[in-house]
Every structure is written in C-alpha cells, then in structure tokens.
Structure 1
Amino acid sequence: MANRNELDPEKSPSAAFGLLLRRLRDEKGWTQDELAERIGCSGTHISAVETGRRPPTTQFAASADKALGSGDKLVRQSRAVRYTALLEGSSEYIAHESRAAEVRLYEVGVIPGILQTPEYASTLTARAVERGSITSEQGEERLSLVTTRQASLRRTPPPLVFVVLDESCLRRPVGGPAVMGDQLARLVDFAALPNTVLQVAPFDMGDRRPLSLPLYVLTTPSRSLLSYAESAHRGQLERETASVVPLLTAYHQLQAEALSQAESVAMINQLRKGTP
C-alpha cells in the first residue's frame, strides 16, 4: 500500500476515473488481478487505467460497473474522459439531457448544438481547431457529440423543448450564405415540430432581458429540476432546486418578453431572404 501512486482527480478526467475505479475496487477488497479476472482483462490493464495511463472505453466502464455493482458510476465518469473538449460539468449535463422530460435553453451568439446543421457545426469546429483552442481529435469529439445529442432528442416519446435565441445567434455569419441559409431553414423546421417552441430575444429588448449568459434548465422524468450554465472557461451544473427555481423564473420572464414563435419565424424567414 505504501508504494501506491497518489492520484489527483483534478489532473485529468482519466485520473478522476482511475481514482473512482480504485476506490470501488478497494471497497470490494479485490486486487487488480481479481477485478481483471471478473471483467476479462489483465491486471496490467487495470493498473494502467487506475493510474490514468490508459483511458477507459465505454465497454470497459460498463463491465467494471457490472462486476463492482456500482450502477452506472463508471460509465458516467467515462463520458468525461471521452469528451475532453467539453467544459467541466457539461458531460454530466448531457447525460441528464438525454433523459429529460423538458429541455429549456437560452443561447447567445451561436446556434446551440441540438439545432446545428452538420455544416454549421463543422465550420465552428474547424475554426476552433485553427485557433488552437482544441485539437483535431477534440474537434471530432465535438461533432460526434452534436450528432448524439440531436439523436437523443428524437426519442419516443420526445421531450418538450423550449428554445430562446438571442438575435445575435441569427445575425452572426458562420460558414457563408449557403451554410447560414440551411441553418436558418433548420430553425424554421424545428419550430414546426409539435413538441417544440422557438422564440427570438430581439436586440431591442435592451435592459428588459433577465438573462445575459447562456442557460440550460432541465425537468427530469421525476419532475425535479437542474440547470447548467457556462462561462468562458467552466460549466456549472446545479442540482439544488432552491438554486434552480430563480433561474427558471428568469427564463419564463425572458420568454414573456421575447418575440412570439410566429414573430420569431417571420424574423428568421426575413433573414433567409436577405432582408434586415
């Protein structure tokens, strides 16, 4: 025990996964070889994962959860390893989003991922890679995640999805006229779905705007609430109802001040035609 490597969960998502795996294994009183035998790999493999030298696959995490009787703790933690381009808290939010009964979001400056066309998403990702803010591998993760999130919202029965877009999302050019034209058309199609509401918060709302930063609020199948908000460098997932309710209230106030869906679609169609 004295020679065990100390793991710092803040160092990387892989280190956090390794620490969780080691803790769960220790609770069972198993050696690395004993766990390896139960999930069909080698003790050396377990050691490499526990010390963060080898990232876990989803299959490995699921097998370890089953052997350890840990529910889906390791699978959920493995998502943070897979999606290294994401901000803290976002991978857990996305897991909740895929099961939510209601999704409410407000976005500023960019079309949100669940509504992006492939070309729009690819253009944004390519620019991030060019700037060096993410690697090409992380860019591929982002694009894969966009596809996964969009597919999860097409499940049966579908969730109710409420979207408020700041006008800047519509007017910020991304990828040229063709890409933007297709993206605006996607928004109109989204607004026509029976389980969605799309609104635009116009610039002239001015200081009546109750929110200034992007916000996501989920209602779970059990009717509990959670929220997710991002700054430039980190994300914050909030599960305490007392903290989420004021944000939900602000979101409802935003919806009341924003354009109606009909007015919002009319604005989008005007922009598609090239009229201000």
Structure 2
Amino acid sequence: MVNRRDLDPDASPQAAYGARLRRLREERGLSQVELGSQAEYSGTHISQVENARKLPTLRFSKRMDVVLEAGDTFEREWREMTQASLLEGFPEYVEHEGRAAELRLFDIGIVTGLLQTPEYAQAVAYGDVRRGTITRDQADEVVAFLAERQAALMRPRPPTVMVVMDESCIRRQVGGPGIMGTQLDRLLEFAEQPNTVLQIATFDIGERRALYLPVNLLTLPDMTVIAYEESQSRGHLERDSTAVWPLLTAYHQLQTEALSHSASVAMIQEVRKDYP
C-alpha cells in the first residue's frame, strides 16, 4: 500500500472515479495487482488511476465494469469526465460517428482530428493549455478521447471516409518538424486505404471555396444525413434536412473545386520533403 493516499471524491471527476475504483476493488478483496491481472493492466496502472495520477480510457473503463461487475458505471463516469471538456453538441455527434456508414469531413488550419497522430493531437491540445483555455488534465482527456474515436472506426467493415482539407492544414507546422513530418506520413497512409478519399482545397480556389468553417457530415446506416459544425466556442449538431442538405451540396461543390485524390497525395508528398 505504498502508493495509497486519501482521495477527496469531490476534488474532481477524476478523483471521484479513482475513489470508486478503489472502493469496489477492496470490497471484492482484490489487490491492485490482482485487479490489473484480471483486467489485463499492471498493478501500477491501477494505482495511478485510483490516485488520479493517470486518466482512465474507454477501454480501461469497460474492463473495470466487467471485472468488478459494475454494470456500465465506469464507462458512464468516463464519458461524463470526457464530455465536460467538449463543445456543446459534440458528445452526441460522436455517438453517431462511431456507427456511421460514411463520413465527409472538412477542416481548416489543423489536420482533421480523426487523422491526427497522438503527438500532433497532443501538440494542439497543449497549445490550448498554454493559452489558458483548458487545463493540462482536460487536454489529456481530449487526446485520450480522440484516440477512442479513431479506434471506433477500425471495424470489420469500416465506413467510407471522405476528407477535404484546406491547404493550410498541411502547410501549417504543428509541434515541430518531427511531429509534422510524421503527421504528413499518416495522411499518406490514410490515402492508401480502399475506403478513403483525401483532397486538398488549395489556396488558389479563393472565393470558390464553398465552406468557410469546419463541418462534419455523417451518413447513418438508415441513410439519414446529419451535420456537425463548430466555431471557436460553440458546436451544433444539425438533424433537420432543410439545414443539412445545403451543407451537403456545399461539400460536393468543394470536392469539385479541390484537387483530385492523386493530385492531393502528390502535394502532400512534396510538402513532406521539407521535414526530416
């Protein structure tokens, strides 16, 4: 019990999670090592989560629910912790994203989240920490949540993913040359997949660029299309077809003006030469 310390469940959602984990573990007479062994984690990992030194992930939470026979308690707590750092409408959007048949994504300035490497995502999140808009813990939650979103798309029958990125996404260096080089490699790997389309909306499109804010469009299994848009401080999930269809039309127009898939790959390869 060297690592044991008292926790105030009211101190933070992470502390409440850790306190519950410790209580249920001890009620079942399990040591941290024993619980870790049953859940396929180390005892040290269990200790760090219990003491609020390490953020739990969705996978970890689901394993705790199974091993400790806690229903969906830890999964719900994880979602509440994570969603506290997200914009309005985004948690609901993510629920649909994980089961969508087709995704159409458009981003400006920053590589779209689902294609970010962990290092790139962390650099973006820690930039927000330096600006004082979120805490370090919240940044870690955002990065962990992004990893869970990415994993949810790795299915036996993956969705079709169409991505249009403004040229600024590949020109703007994030996290230093090494991180940016690896991120560009990730884009090239994505472009090689049979279920993907990647296009660059070049600077010279000018006023012909049909969208001026990031937008995500999802085609659900029942062929319903929903849209998610966000500004700097707000997010909005749109279901009404009268609002969604103009966005879908604008996306199609944007694809027409953007470089082809092969030309986009060639541009990324050219930009990649600037990095070690």
User: So what's the TM-score if we normalise by structure 2?
Assistant: 0.71
CA contact (8 A) 2:120 2:180 kept: yes
Q: How does 1:248-263 map to 2 (within 5 A)?
A: 248-263=248-263
Partners of 2:132 and 2:220 lie apart in 1 by 36
Q: How does 1:25-64 map to 2 (within 5 A)?
A: 63=71
Partners of 1:157 and 1:137 lie apart in 2 by 34
Q: How does 1:15-26 map to 2 (within 5 A)?
A: none
- Residues 241 and 81 of structure 1: is their aligned pair in 2 closer, same or farther, counting only changes over 3 Å? farther
Shift of 1:78: 7.6
Which secondary structure state, in structure 2, belongs to the residue aligned with residue 246 of structure 1? helix
CA contact (8 A) 2:103 2:218 kept: yes
Shift of 1:197: 0.2
One-letter amino acid of the structure 2 residue matched with residue 238 of structure 1 = E
Q: How does 1:95-174 map to 2 (within 5 A)?
A: 95-174=95-174
Match of 1:187 in 2: 187
Question: After the TM superposition, which segments of 4 or more aligned residues of structure 1 sit over 6 Å from their partners?
Answer: 75-78
Partners of 1:150 and 1:248 lie apart in 2 by 23
User: Which ranges of structure 1 fall in alignment gaps of 5 or more residues?
Assistant: 1-13, 15-56, 66-74
Partners of 1:214 and 1:141 lie apart in 2 by 22
Partners of 2:235 and 2:108 lie apart in 1 by 15
CA contact (8 A) 1:83 1:138 kept: no
Which secondary structure state, in structure 1, belongs to the residue aligned with residue 155 of structure 2? coil
CA contact (8 A) 2:201 2:257 kept: yes
CA contact (8 A) 2:166 2:202 kept: yes
Match of 2:223 in 1: 223
CA contact (8 A) 1:80 1:91 kept: no
Partners of 1:64 and 1:119 lie apart in 2 by 30
- Residues 185 and 78 of structure 1: is their aligned pair in 2 closer, same or farther, counting only changes over 3 Å? closer
Partners of 1:64 and 1:215 lie apart in 2 by 32
One-letter amino acid of the structure 2 residue matched with residue 93 of structure 1 = Y
CA contact (8 A) 2:122 2:140 kept: no
Shift of 1:81: 4.7
Which secondary structure state, in structure 2, belongs to the residue aligned with residue 194 of structure 1? coil
Shift of 1:246: 0.9
Aligned pairs, number: 211
Percent identity of the aligned residues? 52
Which secondary structure state, in structure 1, belongs to the residue aligned with residue 193 of structure 2? coil
Which secondary structure state, in structure 2, belongs to the residue aligned with residue 133 of structure 1? coil
Shift of 1:77: 10
One-letter amino acid of the structure 1 residue matched with residue 231 of structure 2 = S
Which of 262-271 and 239-248 deviates more?
239-248
Please tell me the root mean square deviation across aligned C-alpha atoms, in Å.
2.4
User: Which ranges of structure 2 fall in alignment gaps of 5 or more residues?
Assistant: 1-12, 14-60
Partners of 2:121 and 2:78 lie apart in 1 by 24
Query: In the TM superposition, what whole-angstrom CA distance separates every residue of 1:124-163 from its partner, at most 9, and x where no partner exists?
Result: 1112112111111111110111111111111121000000
Shift of 1:83: 2.1
- Residues 172 and 144 of structure 1: is their aligned pair in 2 closer, same or farther, counting only changes over 3 Å? same
